Amino acid sequence: MPPSRPPVRRRLPGGLLRAGWLAPLGLLLLALLLAWGARLLYAEREQHYRHIIESSLAAINQLQVRSVASWRQRRLGEAEALSSDAVLARAVALWQQQPTPVRQERLRERLAGLVEHMQYAAAYLVDLEGRLLLDPQGVAGGSLPQAERAALEQALALGQAQATELQQHARFAFPYVALVAPLYDESGPVGALWLVLDARVALYPLLQAWPGGSRTSAASMLLRRQGDEVLFLSPLRQQAVPPASLRLNLWRSPDAPVVRAAQGARGTLYGHNHQGTAVLASAGAVPGTSWLLVSEIDAAEAFAEIRYGGWLSLTLYVSLSMLLLGTLATLWQRRAWRRERGFKERVQEQMRWLEAAQRAASVGYFVYDAERKLFTMSDMANTIFGLPLESDMTLRQWIEMLDGQDREPMLQAHARAIAEHRPLRVQYRIHPQGGLPLRWVEVRAEFGDGKGSPRSRMTGTVQDITERRQAELQLEHYRAALEAQVRIDPLTRLANRMALDEHMAQEWERAQRGAAPLALLMIDVDRFKAYNDHYGHVAGDRCLQSVARALALDSGRAGDLVARYGGEEFAVLLPGADEAQALAVAERLRLAVRALGLEHAAGAGEDGIVTVSVGVASVLPHQLAQPPAGAGMDAAQVLLRRADAALYRAKRCGRDQSMLYGPHCDNELHAPAGQVDGENV
Ligand SMILES: Nc1nc2c(ncn2[C@@H]2O[C@H](COP(=O)(O)OP(=O)(O)OP(=O)(O)O)[C@@H](O)[C@H]2O)c(=O)[nH]1
């Protein structure tokens, strides 16, 4: 588990950053533009619908005015036709002259026919004084009401039928319009017909002809002015009271359309009706009468449709605008999403590369929280420690995994790094969980992450260096073996001259420090040239190997070094040996070679075997002064030279012997003897 995936900082180019505030501003401007457009549209539509409603109301009003006028005209025409009926007038005259039952019955039937076929509510035959003579049931009694009497007088005066105002009378239980049609025969007027039209069935339905029956507040009213009052001739919408009883004072409701109509206003009128409701009205006068017809509608109801339509269109407009804005926002958001997805994919790809690189390099990383004592680990770090992926490691787990030899030093290094906030660079061994084999790991860690994270956090890498360590050990082994090889004489398997020089330098130092003696034996095979010449070089090599083995076997103490000095010459370094001890070793070795009994037929000795001569020297290095500058040797070489001088002396003295160095030996050397100051040997 990568501990805390590093947050990816989105670095947007300048253009995108500018687009970041330009786009919302653009959307805001677009929204304002759309709102302004919506307002204009709404105002225009409201005006349009208002005009339609006003026109419709005016049309309805005109239609009703024409209906009422034509109805009245038609009825007057019918009365006029009856007035011109000479047969009827003659029958009335004859019945008045001689009222036989037959004549009466004919007239009664005629009246009944008028009621039945002409839809009059009542029909009477009256005399010229207004007394009722006959009705559809037979002989009638009583006389004309006041208004009809006046109408009769006017009809007789003008010689034509007359209509009365819309009125009510105790004789009838309904409002009515009366027609008075005078009857004439050759001699003159003989009477008149009084024809009664029920306003409820003949007139009022004409006022109720409204298109769109659903309209509840629409109403048309017939009215006329009477002095300072408006007299309602038709019932109001909500009131079933007789129209004659409803009057409205002109001064009490000046704003009411009916009042304004009574005062002469025509056409479209806005105002409040007598109940205080805001109304829209259209007023017109019925030709040939004093009647006014006012069509009225509740303004709220009328414009509710406008508002509804307006709101509907506004809602549609706003919805479309929102849809447009939403689409733009979605496109913008999609672009942002796509960009973010691109960033994420790039980060994930880089994380995969990082993981792959970690696996390839066996490097994991971790964050250590010193306060929680917890390591948050990457997948590779968990793999190295043998932990499940995506898990954390406690400090205790880590300590338990440390190898016993490394535990204490590592805990100290860890504690020191935490206390001093110092970088940590360590290599140690762990025993991973799950029984995995021992591993070497290298940990490099720093405090903080360079970005202001708490100083109690340590961020670092852990690398599995097991293979590297094994390779290093192997290399070390090879190197040691090689170095040993370099210091071994291939023929005799003894140390070579190089090894002797190094060893002698070390032992010289040690002897100097320890104030101990250091001895050297120089051993040379006697007359070996003759041996080679006699037995050949191969045999000579075998001889040297045998001598070497004998010297090695009998050299004695640990720390002694037997080396092949060169050719048929050997050297034995004896740390701690004084002259006597060194001489004893020399003799023992010389005898050991003799004991080999190697045939040397060409030798000058009596025994005819291989022998060696030994030069012996022992010094106390701490007592030796440094050789003078320019003498061409160091202090250790003094020992070598002395042993060599003793060897020469042994050769001169007949070979097959051990010779202890003494000043007399120096004369044996060809090269000038080394100057030794203050020597006491
Ligand atoms: N076979 C063989 N011969 C060697 C080797 N190294 C040196 N020699 C021979 O050893 C001989 C040494 O001869 P010299 O130095 O003259 O001395 P010597 O014959 O031993 O006589 P003295 O030392 O005086 O007793 C030479 O002939 C060398 O060739 C070697 O590794 N193998």
475 three-class SS: helix
- Give the tens place of pLDDT for each residue, 314-365: 677 777 777 887 888 888 888 889 999 998 999 888 888 887 887 777 788 8
Residues of the domain holding 396: 366-471
Q: Which residue, judged by its Cα, is nearest atom 12 of ligand 1?
A: 529
CA of 536 to the centre of ligand 1 (A): 11
Q: Is residue 428 part of a domain?
A: yes
pLDDT at 443 over 80: yes
How many domains does the chain fold into? 3
pLDDT at 610 over 70: yes
The answer on 465 and 376 residing in a single domain is yes
The answer on 426 and 502 residing in a single domain is no
- Please enumerate in sequence order all residues whose Cβ is within 8 A of that of 407, keeping only pairs 6 or more positions apart, or say none: 399
Is 190 in contact with 96 (CB distance < 8 Å)?
yes
Strands 424-430 and 439-447, sheet pairing: antiparallel
For residue 487, give both structure tokens. 């210091």
Q: Which residues of 388-400 are buried (b: 16+ CB within 10 A; e: fewer)?
A: eeeebbebeebee
The answer on 460 and 522 residing in a single domain is no
- Please enumerate in sequence order all residues whose Cβ is within 8 A of that of 474, keeping only pairs 6 or more positions apart, or say none: none
Question: In this structure, what CATH number is given to the domain that contains residue 388?
Answer: 3.30.450.20
Q: Which residue, judged by its Cα, is nearest atom 22 of ligand 1?
A: 527
The answer on 662 and 573 residing in a single domain is yes
- Give the tens place of pLDDT for each residue, 265-287: 888 988 988 778 888 899 999 98
The confidence score (pLDDT) of residue 462 equals: 92
Q: Which residue, judged by its Cα, is nearest atom 29 of ligand 1?
A: 529
The confidence score (pLDDT) of residue 45 equals: 76
Residue 569 parent element (H or E): strand 569-575
Q: Which residue has the higher pLDDT, 412 or 357?
A: 412
pLDDT at 8 over 60: no
The confidence score (pLDDT) of residue 134 equals: 93
pLDDT at 401 over 70: yes
Closest ligand 1 atom number to CA of residue 543: 1
Instruction: Give 625's pLDDT tier (boundaries 50, 70, 90).
Output: low
Q: Within 10 Å of residue 78's Cβ, how many Cβ atoms?
A: 17
The confidence score (pLDDT) of residue 64 equals: 87
CA of 527 to the centre of ligand 1 (A): 7
Closest ligand 1 atom number to CA of residue 538: 1
CA angle 63, 66, 67 (to 5 degrees): 85
Q: Across the beta sheet with 518-525, what order do the strands follow?
A: 561-566, 569-575, 518-525, 612-619, 658-660
- Please enumerate in sequence order all residues whose Cβ is within 8 A of that of 203, keeping only pairs 6 or more positions apart, or say none: 68, 71, 166, 177, 197, 222, 234
The confidence score (pLDDT) of residue 557 equals: 76
The answer on 650 and 504 residing in a single domain is yes
Q: Which residue, judged by its Cα, is nearest atom 15 of ligand 1?
A: 529
In terms of average pLDDT, the best of 278-287, 455-464, 596-605 is 278-287
The alpha helices in 368-445, defined as continuous H runs, are: 379-384, 395-401, 404-420
Q: Is residue 401 part of a domain?
A: yes
Q: How far apart are CA 667 and CA 149, in angstroms?
A: 198
Q: Is residue 643 part of a domain?
A: yes
The answer on 597 and 500 residing in a single domain is yes
**Cβ contacts of 305-310, under 8 Å, gap ≥ 24:** 305/49, 305/53, 306/45, 306/46, 306/49, 306/50, 306/53, 307/46, 309/45, 309/49, 310/42, 310/45, 310/46, 310/49
CA of 629 to the centre of ligand 1 (A): 34
Count of positions (residues) in the chain? 681
Q: How far apart are CA 307 and CA 313, in angstroms?
A: 9
Closest ligand 1 atom number to CA of residue 533: 27
CA of 529 to the centre of ligand 1 (A): 4
The confidence score (pLDDT) of residue 255 equals: 85
CA of 569 to the centre of ligand 1 (A): 8
User: What are residue 462's phi and psi, to 5 degrees?
Assistant: -130, 130
The answer on 520 and 389 residing in a single domain is no
Question: In this structure, what CATH number is given to the domain that contains residue 662?
Answer: 3.30.70.270
The confidence score (pLDDT) of residue 47 equals: 82
The confidence score (pLDDT) of residue 673 equals: 38
pLDDT at 370 over 50: yes
DSSP classification of residue 245: G
pLDDT at 675 over 60: no
* Residue of 568, 614, 655 to test ligand 1 pocket, by largest number of atoms within 8 Å of CB: 568
- Give the tens place of pLDDT for each residue, 526-580: 999 999 999 999 999 999 999 999 999 877 677 889 999 999 999 999 999 999 9
Q: Is residue 161 part of a domain?
A: yes
The confidence score (pLDDT) of residue 213 equals: 53
Answer positive or negative: Cα dihedral of 522, 523, 529, 532: negative
Q: Which residue, judged by its Cα, is nearest atom 4 of ligand 1?
A: 567
CA of 609 to the centre of ligand 1 (A): 16
Q: Is residue 587 part of a domain?
A: yes
Closest ligand 1 atom number to CA of residue 613: 25
Boundary of a domain, candidates 198, 228, 259: 198
The answer on 516 and 629 residing in a single domain is yes
458 three-class SS: strand
- Give the tens place of pLDDT for each residue, 227-264: 888 888 887 766 655 555 677 888 888 888 989 898 88
Q: How far is CA 114 from CA 77, 196, 309, in A?
A: 14, 10, 51
Q: How far is CA 595 from CA 437, 499, 522, 531, in A?
A: 56, 28, 19, 18
CA of 673 to the centre of ligand 1 (A): 24
Q: Which residue, judged by its Cα, is nearest atom 14 of ligand 1?
A: 529
Closest by Cα among 152, 147, 157, 210 to 181: 152
Q: How far is CA 448 from CA 367, 368, 393, in A?
A: 9, 10, 19
Q: Is residue 631 part of a domain?
A: yes
The confidence score (pLDDT) of residue 556 equals: 65
* Residue of 489, 491, 492, 529 to test ligand 1 pocket, by largest number of atoms within 8 Å of CB: 529
Query: What DSSP line would sit under 604-669, residue for residue?
Result: SSSS-B--EEEEEEEE-GGGPPPPPTTSS--HHHHHHHHHHHHHHHHHHTTSSSEEE--GGGGGG-
Strands 658-660 and 612-619, sheet pairing: parallel
The confidence score (pLDDT) of residue 175 equals: 86
The answer on 594 and 499 residing in a single domain is yes
Q: Which residue, judged by its Cα, is nearest atom 28 of ligand 1?
A: 529
The answer on 440 and 405 residing in a single domain is yes
Boundary of a domain, candidates 438, 471, 504: 471
pLDDT at 631 over 70: no
Q: Is residue 17 part of a domain?
A: no
**Average confidence score pLDDT of the chain:** 84
Q: Which residue, judged by its Cα, is nearest atom 21 of ligand 1?
A: 527
The confidence score (pLDDT) of residue 50 equals: 82
The confidence score (pLDDT) of residue 211 equals: 67
Please give the average per-residue pLDDT across 657-675, as a whole number: 70
Global pTM value: 0.45
* Residue of 489, 523, 528, 656 to test ligand 1 pocket, by largest number of atoms within 8 Å of CB: 528
pLDDT at 94 over 70: yes
CA of 573 to the centre of ligand 1 (A): 22
- Give the tens place of pLDDT for each residue, 488-539: 999 999 999 999 999 998 999 999 899 999 999 999 999 999 999 999 999 9
The answer on 663 and 514 residing in a single domain is yes
Closest ligand 1 atom number to CA of residue 531: 19
Q: Is residue 254 part of a domain?
A: no
Is 306 in contact with 280 (CB distance < 8 Å)?
no
The answer on 544 and 457 residing in a single domain is no
Q: Which residues line ligand 1 (CB under 6 A)?
A: 491, 524-530, 532, 537, 540-541, 544, 567-568, 651, 655
Boundary of a domain, candidates 138, 171, 198: 198
Closest ligand 1 atom number to CA of residue 491: 31
- Give the tens place of pLDDT for each residue, 56-83: 888 888 888 988 999 989 999 999 999 9
